[in-house]
Structure 1
């Protein structure tokens, strides 16, 4: 995959698209002072990597022209410091209001999030609710997946789980969108368990934890 860590024409193209929004081959060639042919080669590589997309600019009856814009994946390649800002803000808040009040604030936040999840998840079968929760978590940046398991913890097939209304499930997240915050404020992970339980209206137990050095967070989900 193409990255933006090393200086290159591709990096220059990504930076220019970030600033300008969209550009044609000719505009990029003039800006970067390279040939249009070279620009096209770089654009082809970047589009293959999913970092940019093109839009057709039809001009009359001739050959269509194209403009190029960053994809969401392309934007995600640029570093941000949102986590640092969030941790700093929470540190300042904790110093200002005290530990007890801070705990109440974090709990209120997760209660609100649980209600938001609950509204999207609905009241279907537990399997359906778990599936919808995983979709929501993926959209928020968590690399999440779920599997039905039997009484011994072994993964079972979907057909078997449909015939077992009391089936249990494992929800696994390999990426944490708030990892830096969780390191500084591990209590948010405890609230997360409560949030999942409230959103799914079921019992939730932690099986794995990124904060403890494991490569994933895992949750056992089962009916009350």
Structure 2
């Protein structure tokens, strides 16, 4: 993500990553070898994007100096190899408990997350409302989803991006987490009609009342 920014802004963010307590406009100007006004313009743009924010003010013997720091979103611009750690976890569980044990663990995780979401969204009553909310949650997580129903058919969620794609390609059991989450949250039977981990163009989940 860092490469989406200009060179100066990349350098500025790297400085703030290195100096966790924050830096002033003057310090950034000195490090970057550009004017204070130029730094201010970069900071303003990064603040508007939610990448940088004002930190604490540092006493200076006169007027306090304003420090600028990375936001949590800004920190995510730097590579973090979560997928490598997730792969280690999945392989460890599979080695200790077997494939079926892995599926059971993922199912339990999905159910637990769904119950947490239900507690946070107790006002939802119908299956359609729950599916719509679930689509919003998945969108926020990066699935790039849409929910729809055609000619009164079962409500469906389609996702163009699977946030577990590489992991699911190596361990198809990962999809059990999604299915348990979707089923528990909506109190539905979920048909996984298409899956990107199985060469599909999208991940498509169709929700039906249990027993249908």
TM range, smaller chain: 0.7 to 0.9
Give the corresponding residue for 1:127.
128
**Relative to structure 1, is the Cα distance of residues 147 and 5 closer, same or farther in structure 2, using a 3 angstrom cutoff?**
closer
**What's the secondary structure of 2:143's corresponding residue?**
coil
Displacement of 1:7 after TM fit? Answer: 8.7
On the 8 A contact 2:160/2:201 being kept in 1, the answer is: yes
On the 8 A contact 2:102/2:173 being kept in 1, the answer is: no
Displacement of 1:124 after TM fit? Answer: 0.4
Give the corresponding residue for 1:39.
39
On the 8 A contact 1:148/1:169 being kept in 2, the answer is: yes
Give the corresponding residue for 1:114.
114
* Equivalenced residues, count: 206
Distance 1:170 1:22 in 2: 46
The CA RMSD measured in Å over matched residues stands at 3.3
Distance 1:120 1:149 in 2: 29
On the 8 A contact 1:204/1:220 being kept in 2, the answer is: yes
Counterparts of residues 69-148 of structure 1 (less than 5 Å): 69-122=69-122, 124-148=125-149
Unpaired segments of 5 or more residues in structure 2? none
**Relative to structure 1, is the Cα distance of residues 212 and 40 closer, same or farther in structure 2, using a 3 angstrom cutoff?**
same
Give the corresponding residue for 1:164.
none
Give the corresponding residue for 2:160.
174
Q: Deviations over 1:42-71 (max 9, x none)?
A: 3344345553345796x9xxx997543334
1:3 aligns with 2:7: no
Q: Deviations over 1:133-166 (max 9, x none)?
A: 2233334343333223324x6xxxxxxxxxxxxx
Distance 1:51 1:79 in 2: 15
Q: Deviations over 1:16-63 (max 9, x none)?
A: 222325332112112333321332343344345553345796x9xxx9
Give the corresponding residue for 1:13.
12
**Relative to structure 1, is the Cα distance of residues 66 and 14 closer, same or farther in structure 2, using a 3 angstrom cutoff?**
same
Unpaired segments of 5 or more residues in structure 1? 154-167
On the 8 A contact 1:4/1:78 being kept in 2, the answer is: no
**Relative to structure 1, is the Cα distance of residues 113 and 47 closer, same or farther in structure 2, using a 3 angstrom cutoff?**
closer
Give the corresponding residue for 1:207.
193
